[in-house]
Amino acid sequence: MAANNGAIKLVAGNSNPKLAEAIASYLATPLAQAVVRRFADMEVFVEIQENVRGTDVFVVQSTSYPANDHLMELLIIIDALRRSSARRITAVVPYFGYARQDRKPGPRTPISAKLVANLITRAGADRVMTLDLHAGQIQGFFDIPTDNLFASPVMVRDIKERYKLDNVMVVSPDVGGVVRARGLAKRINAPLAIIDKRRERAGESEVMNVIGEVTGRACILVDDIVDSGGTLVNAAEALLKQGATSVTAYITHGVLSGGAVARVTASKLKELVITDSIQPTEAVRVARNIRVLSIATLIGEAIGRTAAEESVSSLFD
């Protein structure tokens, strides 16, 4: 009788079925038969409908909107797999929600990113795989191996296809994002500018100071998250005012809450390029200046390498 040890199984929650299917197709491994549904009172119910005993299971689930429902699905899927004797469970969380709550912003506030890391671990995950964490240090919130992948190879390929690199300036939209932007700038051999946002006095609007000479340059803003779109739209205005010829943004996670899509569409941004770490809504798909790059191959390759106990970091050399 053939043993299951080492066989890969992919299980998808409801957050991003398209990405899960694309990963499954890259790995030529069908998604495992599983039901992830709600009871009448909206409790999550999970049933894994095939044998997973002894298998290496990868659960693909972003904790994107609605974050709490998708997080609960992830935890309950992991619990179901653990109780079904899976050999190893990897939580593949392309967008790790709650990551922005990675420190106490004031007294008597939580560190929710740490709490979510504890929940995933205690549910029974053996490993975590995620993408462009808001802050690299969040890896340390997990006491299990955690691979933080980077979307930059996918973005760099796209930038190289579309831009004359000798005229490009990579821009970090705030001081906190400099390390991320510098990493991408190095990969395409482009200079780096930084936007320094300052509110001189409470109640006054923020002043955007551009550090770096952007006149005549095609500017590429790089960030991990676009949520309301405010940061990007304001940064684009500031760069164009300083003489940039165009402003494009490459952002890994298109959270795009509330009126963000309308704000981006009405803005002077030439294009906003995001990935499918969060499943794009219909509004995103039809927006005139938003384009989606898929990270399915990158994640599929990282899953394949993890299963084969091969290097994942060499994907980014």
Task: Give yes or no for residue 110 binding ligand R5P (CB under 6 A).
Answer: no
Least Å distance, CB 245 to ligand R5P, is: 23
What is the rounded CA–CA span in Å between residue 270 and residue 247? 6
Task: Give yes or no for residue 224 binding ligand R5P (CB under 6 A).
Answer: yes
Closest CB to ligand R5P among 145 and 230?
A: 230
Backbone Cα Rg of the chain:
21
Max intra-chain CA distance, the chain = 73
Per rule CB under 6 A, count of chain residues that contact ligand R5P: 13
Among the listed residues 185, 16, 180, 21, the one whose alpha carbon sits nearest the alpha carbon of residue 96: 16
Residue choice 56, 73, 102, 223 for contact with ligand R5P (CB under 6 A): 223
Could you write out the DSSP letters of every residue in 108-135? T---HHHHHHHHHHHHT-SEEEEES-SS
Task: Give yes or no for residue 56 binding ligand R5P (CB under 6 A).
Answer: no
Q: Other CB atoms closer than 10 Å to residue 51's CB: what's the count?
A: 13
Least Å distance, CB 266 to ligand R5P, is: 15
Q: Which is the catalytic residue, given 197, 241, 268, 270?
A: 197
What is the rounded CA–CA span in Å between residue 223 and residue 170? 11
Pairing of strands 8-12, 56-60: parallel
Residue choice 16, 29, 64, 231 for contact with ligand R5P (CB under 6 A): 231
For the window 13-52, what string marks contact with ligand R5P as x by the rule CB under 6 A? ----------------------------------------
143-202 residues in contact with ligand R5P (CB under 6 A) are: 173-174, 176-177
What is the rounded CA–CA span in Å between residue 240 and residue 234? 10
197 is catalytic: yes
Least Å distance, CB 28 to ligand R5P, is: 35
* SS3 category, 83: helix
Residue 36 β-bridge partners: 46
Q: Other CB atoms closer than 10 Å to residue 312's CB: what's the count?
A: 17
Closest CB to ligand R5P among 179 and 286?
A: 179
Least Å distance, CB 249 to ligand R5P, is: 10
* Residues assigned a catalytic role: 197
Binding site for ligand R5P (CB under 6 A): 173-174, 176-177, 223-231
